[in-house]
A and B are shown apart, each in its own frame.
Chain A
Amino acid sequence: MLDESYYRKTDEIIARYVRDARSLIPIMQDIQAEYRYLPGELLTYVAKEIGITEAKAYSVATFYENFSFEAKGKYVIKVCDGTACHVRHSTPVLEAFWKELGLSKKKHTTDDMLFTVETVSCLGACGLAPTIMVNEQVYPSMSPEKAVALIAELRGNG
């Protein structure tokens, strides 16, 4: 159960937009910007407030890879697995992150809520392949060694 403050914040966000189906995506984006994920309870609440079915809201939220119902870590590592990155060995980079952090295809976030590792289809930086992003920062020409070093560095930052 989310506490009351989440719903008040969501009311604030909804108030920025027209109470209508078309506002669903911007509202979801704002909620996710606030909490780094989209709590399912809030999606249900938004659906009711803007007058769409819960199943429809869920349909839109699951269509876009960008929305996540899971709470994410402080550092969200997006490993690009687009064609260019894939052929330049993005998979070993991904596996290095998984191994270093004890994560897998099923488990995306470390228990200390510090790191989330996910794959994305293309970051639009194919010339820098294999590319990753940590939050808003781009890291080019990655390798498994660089991945391990990066984790150590981020851990050092706390």
Chain B
Amino acid sequence: MATITINGRQVEFTNEKNVLTIIRKAGIDIPTLCYQPELSTFGACRLCTVEDDRGRFFASCSEEPRDGMVIYTNTEKLRKYRKLIVELLLASHDRECTTCEKSGHCPLQNVALRLGVQDVRFQNYKERQPIDDSSYAIIRDPNKCILCGNCVRECNEVQTVGALDFAFRGSEATVSPAFNRPLASTKCVSCGQCRVVCDTGALTIKSHVDKVWAALNDPNTRVVCQIAPAVRVAVGEAFGMPAGQNSLYKLVNALHIMGFNRVYDTTYTADLTIMEESAEFLSRVAHKRHLPLLTSCCPAWVKFVDNEYPEFKRNVSTCRSPQGMFSAVLKEYYRAPEHNTSNKKTFVVSIMPCTAKKMEAERPNSYTYGEKDTDAVITTTELVQMIKQFGLDFASLTEESCDMPFGMGSGGGVIFGVTGGVTEAVLRRLVKDHNPKSLETIAVSGVRGNDGIKEITVPYNGMDVKICVASGLGNARKVMDAVKSGEKEYHLIEVMACPGGCVMGGGQPTRLDHKSVVEERDEGIYRTDRKMVLKKSNENPLMDFFYQNDIFKHKYHDLLHNHE
């Protein structure tokens, strides 16, 4: 076994791609800013520099491990260099930390704190740049950018959108869209993954928090909300709870205390989506029209198809996303005189792991009968902020259930939060029985797991149904290029723009400890599903409440589908 010696201790290694990974595995969280394991190695920030036994310095992120290496991670010189690096970065950085949204969960701030940088001797000579708030989802503040390049590599390598890149050179270098155009006029799909990897407050979520408080404080407004599946397994992290723990019921209590009149569960319309999309799928298969069917739950993906594969626009499911369906149904429900005796305005808040949902809510097809369906979208990150603003001790709250008549979903609805979940829920819907064996067969069919591209073939009514599940838009591009060239044929393609699906959405809380929580959050979703009595969307009794209800009769198409 090959070994390297780190600070005098021998550490074994196998196929780690760089020295940094070995150091971290050995339990030493050496600071980094530009290093993201899933992106190409950039080697720009130099914070991971280590010293070897010959007094040589090198960036451990860019160094291949060799057997017998002897390195030190915390020498006198290294401490001095690291502090100087951070000091120089801070010198040209807008350091108004107290009014920065990122404060408290900012990697740059955290590094400065950890290394004990207490003085910045250099003046900031940079001219102030205007803030770009053109996007519905993301705010870009170039004054806070430290040029780590994480967003550029995320947008180009992982998502293959390429809305952002470096521009200019030397002291004038910036990160910006082409011609420094507003983000809203680029091919940005609002996925928010740039903001997840941003080391500073240069890329942040466009907040709807104040809008929601205003509605909550207005006595003439009925504020109702829906909570997406992936939110429940991430919100607790910000309050010291373990990653992946389902804290939906604490969250419902918190929202009630904060003044929400009704708290509903988006898994309900995830079930409705399954009903509608399965029917659409079977009809397309029967008529051999517009196949493969492309899922429409993820607005960043839908926008990506618009931008990159316009010839496949008709393949996108006409179903609204669960958010879209829910908001339209809620507005219609409270429009009915018997549910609006107080004659209040209804304000629908959607609580999502996602920044792109903010963009979806503004799309022209997110209006029903002339009224906007979703009034505000707050991400998990904004939700955490609201809970803190209100002053709740979240972790110690008692648990409450969601409200009726839209507070119940099936396991099929819950698993929408992970990549492959929509497909698994469709398959559950299509199997005739609900015995555990059939469900187990589906679970192990290859639909689960965090591979970027998964292919599944399922026998159904004498035919082989070919399904592809992709997460991450770079993977989606590979799949679509293969379909376009005729190399691959599928009946159904499920895409979630964020690698790993909604649990890793662009609006989820970020961490400072360089740990990936995708597995914990996935497990949190599947654990929740295992505890659900109802696994199949079509067995949710509230489906009947909807489809048999006079309020919604003859409006299924208007409420549940997009119509151009």
Per-residue contact bits, chain B 124-157, to A (CB 8 Å; 1 contact, 0 not): 0000000000000000000000000000000010
Central interface residue in B156, B167, B177, by most chain A CB within 10 Å: B167
Is the CB of A137 closer than 8 A to any CB of chain B? no
A56 CB contacts on chain B under 8 angstroms: 156, 162, 165
**Contact at B162–A55, with CB atoms within 8 Å?**
yes
Is the CB of A157 closer than 8 A to any CB of chain B? no
**Contact at B177–A62, with CB atoms within 8 Å?**
no
A59 CB contacts on chain B under 8 angstroms: 165-167
Q: Which of A18-72 contact B (CB under 8 A)?
A: 40, 44, 47, 53-59, 62-65
Could you tell me the distance in whole angstroms from the C-beta of B221 to the nearest C-beta in chain A? 41
**Contact at A40–B168, with CB atoms within 8 Å?**
no
CA distance in complex: A63, B186 (Å) = 21
Could you tell me the distance in whole angstroms from the C-beta of A6 to the nearest C-beta in chain B? 17
CA distance in complex: A54, B155 (Å) = 13
Query: Which residues of A come within 8 Å of B, CB atoms?
Result: 40, 44, 47, 53-59, 62-65
Could you tell me the distance in whole angstroms from the C-beta of A51 to the nearest C-beta in chain B? 11
**Contact at A58–B179, with CB atoms within 8 Å?**
yes
Is the CB of B164 closer than 8 A to any CB of chain A? yes
Could you tell me the distance in whole angstroms from the C-beta of B37 to the nearest C-beta in chain A? 23
B114 CB contacts on chain A under 8 angstroms: none
**Contact at A55–B168, with CB atoms within 8 Å?**
no
A54 CB contacts on chain B under 8 angstroms: 162, 177-179, 186
B167 CB contacts on chain A under 8 angstroms: 55, 58-59, 62-63
A64 CB contacts on chain B under 8 angstroms: 169
Could you tell me the distance in whole angstroms from the C-beta of B481 to the nearest C-beta in chain A? 12
Is the CB of B163 closer than 8 A to any CB of chain A? yes
**Contact at A55–B163, with CB atoms within 8 Å?**
yes
Could you tell me the distance in whole angstroms from the C-beta of B128 to the nearest C-beta in chain A? 16
CA distance in complex: A40, B162 (Å) = 18
> Would you call the interface of chain B mostly helix, strand, loop, or mixed?
loop
A57 CB contacts on chain B under 8 angstroms: 178
B177's nearest neighbour on chain A, judged by CB, is: A55
**Contact at A58–B169, with CB atoms within 8 Å?**
no
B163 CB contacts on chain A under 8 angstroms: 53, 55
CA distance in complex: A58, B186 (Å) = 13
Central interface residue in A40, A57, A58, A65, by most chain B CB within 10 Å: A58
Per-residue contact bits, chain B 160-184, to A (CB 8 Å; 1 contact, 0 not): 0111111111000000111100000
B164 CB contacts on chain A under 8 angstroms: 55
Given contacts A54-B178, A57-B178, contact A62 B162 (CB under 8 A): no
**Contact at A55–B169, with CB atoms within 8 Å?**
no
Q: Which of A47, A53, A63 meets B168, CB within 8 Å?
A: A63
CA distance in complex: A63, B167 (Å) = 7
CA distance in complex: A113, B334 (Å) = 65
A44's nearest neighbour on chain B, judged by CB, is: B178
CA distance in complex: A40, B167 (Å) = 14
CA distance in complex: A46, B166 (Å) = 18
CA distance in complex: A63, B166 (Å) = 9
CA distance in complex: A59, B169 (Å) = 9
CA distance in complex: A62, B166 (Å) = 9
**Contact at B156–A53, with CB atoms within 8 Å?**
yes
**Contact at B178–A63, with CB atoms within 8 Å?**
no
B162's nearest neighbour on chain A, judged by CB, is: A53
Q: Which of A44, A53, A63 meets B169, CB within 8 Å?
A: A63
Could you tell me the distance in whole angstroms from the C-beta of A69 to the nearest C-beta in chain B? 8
CA distance in complex: A63, B176 (Å) = 13
Could you tell me the distance in whole angstroms from the C-beta of B236 to the nearest C-beta in chain A? 37
Central interface residue in B163, B166, B187, by most chain A CB within 10 Å: B166
Central interface residue in A53, A54, A55, by most chain B CB within 10 Å: A55
Could you tell me the distance in whole angstroms from the C-beta of B160 to the nearest C-beta in chain A? 9
Could you tell me the distance in whole angstroms from the C-beta of B47 to the nearest C-beta in chain A? 24
Could you tell me the distance in whole angstroms from the C-beta of B185 to the nearest C-beta in chain A? 11
In the complex, 5 of the A-B residue pairs with CB atoms within 8 angstroms, ordered by the A residue number, are: A54-B162, A55-B186, A56-B162, A57-B178, A59-B165
CA distance in complex: A154, B540 (Å) = 85
A47 CB contacts on chain B under 8 angstroms: 178
CA distance in complex: A25, B164 (Å) = 20
Q: Which of B156, B169, B186, B187 meets A62, CB within 8 Å?
A: B169
CA distance in complex: A57, B156 (Å) = 13
B176 CB contacts on chain A under 8 angstroms: 55
A65's nearest neighbour on chain B, judged by CB, is: B169
Could you tell me the distance in whole angstroms from the C-beta of A82 to the nearest C-beta in chain B? 15
CA distance in complex: A57, B162 (Å) = 11
Q: Which of A40, A44, A58, A65 meets B165, CB within 8 Å?
A: A58
Central interface residue in B165, B167, B177, B186, by most chain A CB within 10 Å: B165
Could you tell me the distance in whole angstroms from the C-beta of A66 to the nearest C-beta in chain B? 12
CA distance in complex: A59, B186 (Å) = 15
A53 CB contacts on chain B under 8 angstroms: 156, 161-163, 165, 178, 187
B161 CB contacts on chain A under 8 angstroms: 53
